[in-house]
């Protein structure tokens, strides 16, 4: 955590102590960790369907922590452990409007309210208790659909009339909670479907709730962005009807989103996933028309600025590694040829899945001025394993060993593999996040650049 956020957390606490916790519009949070120790507890606002950390508190020796702050808006805030980008695990949603207290104890799996609390957060906690069996199993991966689908069915049924006879006395909040119930069930149902399990259901096994789920119901307005999981839910909802389609694409998912601003958010998510400026620009050229707000346009520009170090025609960052015979080989050794670099490892399933397509591409282009270079990021201790794998698989081309996540990964910001990178005959960048060999677009790009001097 950076110093600024730590200081903000302290200032929030000090502000309550100096000026009185009953200052206008202040919220006072008093909490206690009763389970496993935690280095910090964090406070998040909800921004564009995600969590933005604004403060953290370090629990005292007895587990006590607190925040005093003035809320920027009426709505949902999140208190919990871990980074916001890691999702909803160990994080809990509360409603603040100002001039209120939240008292709670956080245990190893959930929380309980203690002492004085607002009517809104009491009612929200009642719903949390109802939702909890589905939420817990969606965020933890030890159970399969056989155990969880009955829970999903029961909670989906309860949700239909859950608000009947319940009210906080705050009409604005009650209307929000009614929406929340629907969005919560949908999100955690889809979260369950999209997480790794020892067994996965076929469509025939789906619950009636899943069979009848209509993504457009949740994607027709920007309400989704008021929830801390909104950005994640947007992607899962957009892909829901095509999730089992082997030919699914961003275009197909985009067509599932009726709301223009949500289309823009989905486009921004894809632009943010780009690992090269070239791929970012391709996304913006295609979907930038959906950036309908000034803020979306500004976020797009910020993403592009962060990737601007890897533009087409920029000079490549050289690297040198030993080959199978321990001869040092560099990227710059191959000027005059187009170079395809495959960053991979023997333990990487998706990497190995590309091997047949890579072999076929090598065979199809063997008479061309193309070098196929594979750089393994296996650890030094696995060097013999790498050599054996290369021999057993009959891998051709230039085979190099990087001894782990070394300079090539750092310099090209590689955090996941496989990563394919293309360089031109002059040793400049074509694309540091090129399509995979299984994508026909890779061959098309190579042939296009072979024609250039």
Pair (329, 259) in one structural domain: no
Q: Which of 119, 135, 239 is nearest to 188 (CA)?
A: 135
Q: Of the candidates 54, 88, 117, which is a domain's last residue?
A: 117
Report whether 430 contacts 317 (CB < 8 A).
no
Pair (300, 406) in one structural domain: no
Report whether 431 contacts 279 (CB < 8 A).
yes
Q: Of the candidates 117, 145, 174, which is a domain's last residue?
A: 117
Pair (293, 334) in one structural domain: no
**pLDDT at position 35, please?**
83
Pair (347, 274) in one structural domain: no
Q: Consecutive 10-residue runs of the chain (453 residues): their mean pLDDT?
A: 42 39 77 91 97 95 96 97 85 97 96 97 99 97 97 98 98 98 98 94 96 97 98 97 90 97 97 86 93 92 82 89 95 96 96 96 95 97 97 96 92 92 95 94 96 80
**pLDDT at position 36, please?**
85
Pair (277, 374) in one structural domain: no
**Does 357 reside within a domain?**
yes
CATH number at residue 344: 3.40.30.10
**Does 280 reside within a domain?**
yes
Distances (CA, A) of 249 to 27, 202, 236, 315, 434: 45, 21, 13, 32, 17
**Does 135 reside within a domain?**
no
Pair (75, 102) in one structural domain: yes
Q: Which domain holds residue 35?
A: 1-117
**Do you know the residue count of the chain?**
453
CATH number at residue 75: 2.60.40.1120
Pair (298, 325) in one structural domain: no
**Does 102 reside within a domain?**
yes
Q: Which of 93, 44, 33, 50 is nearest to 69 (CA)?
A: 44
Rg of the chain over all Cα atoms, to the nearest angstrom: 26
Pair (430, 337) in one structural domain: yes
**Does 57 reside within a domain?**
yes
Pair (93, 5) in one structural domain: yes
Residue indicated by tokens 């397509």:
357
Pair (297, 366) in one structural domain: no
Largest CA distance in the chain: 78
**Does 355 reside within a domain?**
yes
**Does 128 reside within a domain?**
no
Task: Quote the number of domains for the chain.
Answer: 3
**pLDDT at position 413, please?**
87
Pair (334, 434) in one structural domain: yes
Q: Of the candidates 102, 117, 132, which is a domain's last residue?
A: 117
Q: Which of 389, 392, 407 is nearest to 317 (CA)?
A: 407
Instruction: Tally the C-alpha atoms within 13 A of residue 66's C-alpha that lie toward its C-beta.
Output: 18
Q: Strand 100-106 to strand 111-113: parallel, antiparallel, or no bridges (unpaired)?
A: antiparallel
Pair (290, 324) in one structural domain: no
Q: How far apart are CA 129 and CA 148, in angstroms?
A: 16
SS (H, E, C) the chain: CCHHHHHHHHHHHHHHHHHCCCCCCCEEEEEEECCCCCCCEEEEEEECCEEEEEEEECCCCCCEEEEEECCCCCEEEEEECCCHHHCCCCEEEEEECCCEEEEEEECCCCEEECCCCCHHHHHHHHHHHHHHHHHHHHHCCCCCHHHHHHHHHHHHHHHHCCCCCCCCCCHHHHHHHHHHHHHHHHHHHHHHHCCCCCCCCCHHHCCHHHHHCCHHHHHCCHHHHHCCCHHHHHHHHHHHCCCCCCCCCHHHHHCCCCCHHHHHHHHHHHHHCCCCHHHHHHHHHHHHHHCCCHHHHHHHHHHHHHHCCCCCCCECCCCEEEECCCCEEEHHHHCCCEEEEEEECCCCHHHHHCHHHHHHHHHHCCCCCEEEEEEECCCHHHHHHHHHHHHHHCCCCEEEECCCCCHHHHHCCCCCCCEEEEECCCCEEEECCCCCCCCHHHHHHHHHHHCCC
Residue indicated by tokens 């200081």:
7
**Does 423 reside within a domain?**
yes
Here the tokens at position 327 are 């001869």
Report whether 356 contacts 364 (CB < 8 A).
no
């Amino acid at each position: 955590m950076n110093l600024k956020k730590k200081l903000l957390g302290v200032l929030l606490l000090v502000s309550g102590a100096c000026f009185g916790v009953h200052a206008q519009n202040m919220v006072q949070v008093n909490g206690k960790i009763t389970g496993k120790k935690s280095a910090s507890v964090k406070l998040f606002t909800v921004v564009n369907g995600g969590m933005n950390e604004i403060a953290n508190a370090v629990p005292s020796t007895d587990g006590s922590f607190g925040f005093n702050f003035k809320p920027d808006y009426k709505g949902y805030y999140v208190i919990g452990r871990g980074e916001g980008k890691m999702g909803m695990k160990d994080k809990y949603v509360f409603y603040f409007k100002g001039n209120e207290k939240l008292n709670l104890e956080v245990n190893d799996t959930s929380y309980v309210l203690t002492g004085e609390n607002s009517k809104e957060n009491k009612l929200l906690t009642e719903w949390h208790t109802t939702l909890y069996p589905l939420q817990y199993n969606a965020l933890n991966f030890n159970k399969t659909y056989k155990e969880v689908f009955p829970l999903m069915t029961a909670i989906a049924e309860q949700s239909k009339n859950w608000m009947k006879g319940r009210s906080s006395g705050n009409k604005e909040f009650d209307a929000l909670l009614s929406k929340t119930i629907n969005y919560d069930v949908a999100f955690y149902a889809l979260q369950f479907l999209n997480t790794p399990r020892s067994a996965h259901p076929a469509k025939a096994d789906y619950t009636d709730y899943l069979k009848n789920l209509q993504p457009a119901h949740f994607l027709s307005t920007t309400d989704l962005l008021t929830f801390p999981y909104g950005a994640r839910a947007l992607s899962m909802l957009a892909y829901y009807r095509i999730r089992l389609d082997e030919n699914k694409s961003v275009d197909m998912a985009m067509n599932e989103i009726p709301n223009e601003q949500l289309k823009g958010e989905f486009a921004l998510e894809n632009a943010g996933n780009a690992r090269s400026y070239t791929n970012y620009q391709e996304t913006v050229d295609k979907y930038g028309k959906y950036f309908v707000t000034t803020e979306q346009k500004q976020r797009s520009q910020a993403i592009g600025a962060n990737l601007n170090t890897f533009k087409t025609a920029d000079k490549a960052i050289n690297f040198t590694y030993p080959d199978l015979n321990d001869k040092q080989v560099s990227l710059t050794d191959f000027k005059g040829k187009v170079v395809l670099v495959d960053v991979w490892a023997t333990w990487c399933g998706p990497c190995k899945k590309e091997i047949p397509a890579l072999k076929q591409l090598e065979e199809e282009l063997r008479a061309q001025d193309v070098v196929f270079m594979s750089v393994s990021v296996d650890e030094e201790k696995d060097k013999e394993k790498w050599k054996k794998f290369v021999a057993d698989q009959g891998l051709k081309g230039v085979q190099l060993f990087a001894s782990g996540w070394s300079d090539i990964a750092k310099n090209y910001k590689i955090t996941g593999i496989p990563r394919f990178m293309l360089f031109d005959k002059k040793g400049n960048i074509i694309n540091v996040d090129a399509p995979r060999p299984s994508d026909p677009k890779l061959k098309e790009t190579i042939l296009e650049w072979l024609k250039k001097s």
